[in-house]
Structure 1
C-alpha cells in the first residue's frame, strides 16, 4: 500500500499553503474486487460509511495506489483482475461524473504486476512503476506539455492600432503516455519517494531479501530522465522483510527497514545528496515487527508506526537538528495481522488506518496530540481487501 508524495505539512506539493478544501480520500477494493472509495464528510471529520463503486470491473487489491495529479485532483492506479492491465483513473475536473473512465495503461511485456508504485515526476506528471512476476522492473510516465512561442496580433486596450506580440503557448504531447520501459535489475517489491529536489527515488527488495536504492540523476524537468543504477544498500545486514522511505520537513530522506524484531534506519547525509549513513538500529521490540509505516508529523518531522503482536507502537522525529526520535510507545492495539497507513488531516493531526486481515475491516484512529491518540478504533468499511490514501483538495463537481 502506497500513498502520494506529501510536503512536510501534509499537503500535496501544488496545493501546500493554498488549499481551502482538504479531506482524506480512502480508495479501497472489496472482497468482490470492486474498486470504490470512502469520503471524509468534513475536514478533520468522520467518514461517510458508504462504499461508492467506481467501475464495474474487478481489481487486484495489493497493487492499488492513490495520489494526486499536478492540478490536485485525485488519481488512482489499479490492476484489472481479468487482464492484468493497469488502469489510471482520475477525477474529472469538469462534468457530471466525479471520475473519468479508466485509462488503460496496458501491460508490461513481462506480464501481470506483483508490485506497483505511482508518484509525480519532477515535471509534475504521473510516473508509474511495476514489478512483474519474473522480477523485471518497468516504468511508464505521462508525457509533459512543451512550450513554444507564437506570434499573434492584438489591439491593446485604449488604442486602435493592432500590434504583433510573441507569447508562450503550452503544447500537448503527441503521445499522452510513454511506452513501458524496462529498467535494469530484478526485484520482488518496490516503493517510491521524492528527493528534496523533486527527483524520484526507488527502494525495493529482491528475492534474496536484499534492499536496493535507485535515484534519478537529473533535476531538470525538461531533460530526459536517467537513473543512477541500483545500489545494494544491505550494509552487512540480512533478512530484510520490508523497506520504506520518506522525506521529512528538514528535506532529508530517511529509509527504514524491518528485520525480525528490529527496525533499522539510514539517513541522507545532506539535502539533495546521493549518500546515506550506514544502517543504525532504530528500535528493538520483544516480538516480531509485522509491519511499519511512515507519515508526516505535525512538527514537520516524520512519524513512524509499527505493529508488534497486537500492540501498535508510535514515535516521532524531534525537529531540533539532532536527528533524535521519541521512544516508541504503544498507541493502540489491534488483534491479528494488519496493513497500516498514516495520513494527515487538514489540521495536521495524523490519522492511522488499519486494515485487519481477519475481519477484512478498515479502521481508523486519530492523533489528539503528538503522543496521544483517540482510544477507540472507528470502522471505515467492511469486506475490504486493500486500500490506498491520498488528499482530496478539490471539491466534488
Structure 2
C-alpha cells in the first residue's frame, strides 16, 4: 500500500471514547525478517504466549521502531528486506475491521540512499508520526519524513439564527485532512551514524545523534516554520571537550525539562535543558561512573514522574544492570546507582511503563535471540527473576496501546 492510498481517517481528530485498557505492546523481528507482536493479556500483567505475524513481508532485522498514533493506536516502522523501503504499519481505527492492523504503508526511501544505519519513529508537533533515518552511504546523510498537518479551508453552511425562521449562509474556516498524507523525503543538513529523539515540552522534536568520529550533535525544530528542514535551529556540537561518545538517550522529566545522557566507556554524563522549551542546555556533568565499560542504557519516565535510567555493564556472563532515578523535583536529585538485575550477555535494554506507571525492563540477548522482562516492584526494587518472552528474535521494540479496541 502506497502512502497515497493511506486513509485520511486517522487525521480526523482525537479518540473521544475512554480507553478500556492500557497494555504494553511488544513487536519483534526474527533473523529471517518475520515481523510479529505480542500483547499484555491484561493491564500490568503477562504477555501472550504466541507470536502473531503482522505481515507476510520480510524486513531487515536490524531496524525496528514502535510508537503510537495521535489517537493512541499502535504504529510500527520497519525496513523492507527486498527493497530497502521504509514501511509504516498501524492499527486500524475501524472496530469491525477484519484485521487489527491496516495494510502497510510504503514510505519509500530517499533518492540516492540504498541502505540505512538508524531509524527513528516519534510523534511530533501535531501529534502525528515523524520518521528519521541516517544513510549507510559514505556521506551518512540525515533524512526526514512526516505526516502532513491538516489544512484549513473555508466552507459555507446554511444556518437558522435564533429567533428567526430564515436561513442564512455562514462561511467559516474548517480543518480538513491533508491532500497528501505524508510529506516527501527531506534532507536535513549534517551527517550522523546513530539517531535518537525526544519531544520538547511544547511538542517540537529534539533530534540528537553521533557522527562517525564519535562527536554528538543536537538539533531542534523551529517555532515558526517547523516543517521546513532549513528552519530547524541548526546542529549544535555538544561534545564540550569530551570524546568517544558511544550512545545518547533523551527524556523529558516532571519539570518538563529535557535531559540528555551520554555513554562514554565506563562513565555516563548528563546535561539538562536550562529552561522549559528552550534550545539551551547546561554543561555535561558526570552522572555515574562504573568499574567497567557500559554496554547500553535506556531512560523512561518513572512511577513518580521523574526520569529513570538503567545501564548494563559489559563484563562476564552475568552482567549487572544498574538503575538511577530522580528522587525530587530538582535536576540534581538522583538516587545512587544500584544493581536491579543481571543479564547473561550484552543485551539490548528497553524501559516501558505499565498502566499503573510501574516500569517493565525488557532485554534481548543478541547471541541467543532470547527476550525477557523484569517487573518493577517499587521505585528502587525489581522482581528477582526475569520472565521469558520467547527466543529467536533479532530485534524488539515496545510501546503503549491505549485505544478502546479490545481485540
Normalised TM-score (structure 1): 0.92
Matched, 1:126 2:133: no
The corresponding residue for 1:319 is 328
Pick aligned residue for 1:115 from 115, 118, 126: 118
Q: Is the 8 A contact 2:134 2:142 kept in 1?
A: yes
Question: What is the Cα deviation at residue 167 of structure 1?
Answer: 4.2
The corresponding residue for 1:294 is 299
Output the CA distance in 2 between the equivalents of 1:211 and 1:64. Answer: 22
Pick aligned residue for 1:169 from 164, 170, 174: 174
CA gap 1:145/1:16 in 2 versus in 1, 3 angstroms: closer
Output the CA distance in 1 between the equivalents of 2:155 and 2:228. Answer: 22
> SS at 1:184's partner residue?
strand
Q: What are the within-5 Å matches in structure 2 for residues 106-255 of structure 1?
A: 106-109=108-111, 110-134=113-137, 135-155=140-160, 161-218=166-223, 226-255=231-260
Q: What are the within-5 Å matches in structure 2 for residues 47-86 of structure 1?
A: 47-86=47-86
Residues 40-83 of structure 1, C-alpha deviations (whole Å, 9 max, x = no match): 00000100021000111111232211111111111111101111
Residues 219-276 of structure 1, C-alpha deviations (whole Å, 9 max, x = no match): 6779998211111100101111111111111101100011111111111111111111
- Structure 1 residue runs without a partner (length 5+): 1-13
The corresponding residue for 1:4 is none
Normalised TM-score (structure 2): 0.90
Output the CA distance in 2 between the equivalents of 1:115 and 1:16. Answer: 35
Identify the structure with bigger relative contact order (alpha carbons < 8 Å, sequence gap 6+): 1
Pick aligned residue for 1:346 from 355, 369, 385: 355
The corresponding residue for 1:45 is 45
Question: What is the Cα deviation at residue 305 of structure 1?
Answer: 0.4
Output the CA distance in 2 between the equivalents of 1:60 and 1:151. Answer: 49
- Structure 2 residue runs without a partner (length 5+): 1-13
Matched, 1:274 2:279: yes
Pick aligned residue for 1:329 from 318, 322, 338: 338
Q: Is the 8 A contact 1:340 1:354 kept in 2?
A: yes
Matched, 1:363 2:372: yes
Residues 305-331 of structure 1, C-alpha deviations (whole Å, 9 max, x = no match): 000131000111122325221001000
Moved more, 348-357 or 153-162: 153-162
CA gap 1:249/1:20 in 2 versus in 1, 3 angstroms: farther
Q: Is the 8 A contact 1:154 1:164 kept in 2?
A: yes
The corresponding residue for 2:23 is 23
Q: Is the 8 A contact 1:261 1:286 kept in 2?
A: yes
The size of the alignment, in residue pairs, is 384
Residues 201-229 of structure 1, C-alpha deviations (whole Å, 9 max, x = no match): 11100000010001111167799982111
The corresponding residue for 1:6 is none
CA gap 1:219/1:289 in 2 versus in 1, 3 angstroms: farther
CA gap 1:255/1:334 in 2 versus in 1, 3 angstroms: same
The corresponding residue for 2:9 is none
Alpha-carbon RMSD across the aligned residues, in angstroms, is: 2.1
Question: What is the Cα deviation at residue 21 of structure 1?
Answer: 1.6
